[in-house]
Amino acid sequence: MDDLKFLLGGIFVAIIKNKEKSLNRKNNNSWFVEFIGILMCIAAIPVYAFFRNIYTSFVIILVAFAVIIHFSKKRKIYKAGIQGEKEIAKLLDSLNNRYLVYNDIVIGGKERGAQIDHLVLSPYGIFCIETKNMKGVIMGKEEDREWTQIKGVQGGKNYEKKFYNPCKQSAGHANAVKNILRHSDFINTPVYSIVTFSSNKNTNLKVQVHSTPVIKSDKLIDFINKKKEIFISDDKLRRIENIIDKQIC
């Protein structure tokens, strides 16, 4: 096990294996591309001064503004995702030291690997948690490809957005973990997929699910703590930990 165990008020808390980095990396990359766009706008001035070609300068500025706007929107999405993942990571900190917590990891390869928001290993099973920091009404069925977010905006109009079904996301991540643990020793290891949304009072879940729980973040720890049947021995848990560590990109 890790040497990250520490005592808080006499109670061992969860072992944190990985800090958030995937979304932060994407956010930083988007900022860098935005910066390139700004440089392109500046570069349009000497281009015009040297070539006296207003058309070329206009095209450069137009492309630069398109890049800046596109990646600015992406950074807002990443920022909300980072905030949501930090909220869940803080909650998972409160679990006891029988739980190992990985935050924001990629397993199975950088290009086509599974980006898992939170992975929790325990004697009671493995928990794959997909986090969504979204407000408004969330509508969808577990078998749908896409779900819908509806929220009010200024002027009384509703904003509607389609997004990929998070149940399918979480189930895909759980399958990726099962694939890594396909060795016969781990074939019966329970892997639970969970989807959690922000516990914000403005989040209203109107979803129909049957196999993947969809809950608000304030219910997550209770859900995990209800799993009390031991399936994984300490030795197997250490072996699973080593396998996951080697798979992280």
Encode pLDDT of 86-137 as tens digits. 889 899 999 999 999 999 899 877 667 888 999 999 999 999 999 998 889 9
Helix (H), strand (E) at residue 162: strand 158-164
Contacts of 230 (CB under 8 A, 6+ apart): 123, 124
Q: What's the Rg (C-alpha) of the chain? A: 22
What's the pTM?
0.73
Whether 151 is covered by a domain: the verdict is yes
Distance CA 45, CA 97 (A): 60
Segment (H or E) for 115: strand 114-122
Q: What is the pLDDT of residue 2?
A: 44
Q: Give strand pairing partners of 161.
A: 149
Condensed to tens digits (0 to 9), the pLDDT of residues 146-189 reads 999 998 766 667 889 999 999 999 999 999 999 999 887 888 89
Mean pLDDT for the stretch of residues 69-86: 65
Residue 48 lies in a domain: yes
Q: What is the pLDDT of residues 182-237, one digit of tens each?
A: 887 888 899 999 999 988 888 999 999 999 999 999 999 999 999 999 999 999 99
Residue 58 is assigned to a structural domain of this protein = yes
CA dist 160 and 140 (Å) reads: 13
Please indicate, yes or no, if residue 149 is contained in any of the structural domains.
yes
C-alpha to C-alpha distance for 30 and 23, rounded to whole angstroms: 10
* Structural domain total, the chain: 1
Is 4 contained in some domain? no
16: closest CA among 68, 85, 92, 73? 92
Residue 58 has pLDDT above 70, yes or no: no
Please give the mean pLDDT across all residues of the chain. Answer: 81
pLDDT of res. 13: 63
**Structure tokens of 80?**
């909300």
Could you tell me which residue, 117 or 45, shows the higher pLDDT?
117
Residue 206: inside a domain:
yes
| Within-domain flag for 2 | no
Residue range(s) defining the domain that contains residue 114: 10-247
Q: What pLDDT is attached to residue 41? A: 62
Report yes or no on 32 lying in a domain. yes
Task: Find the helix packing angle between 54-92 and 22-51, rounded to 10°.
Answer: 170
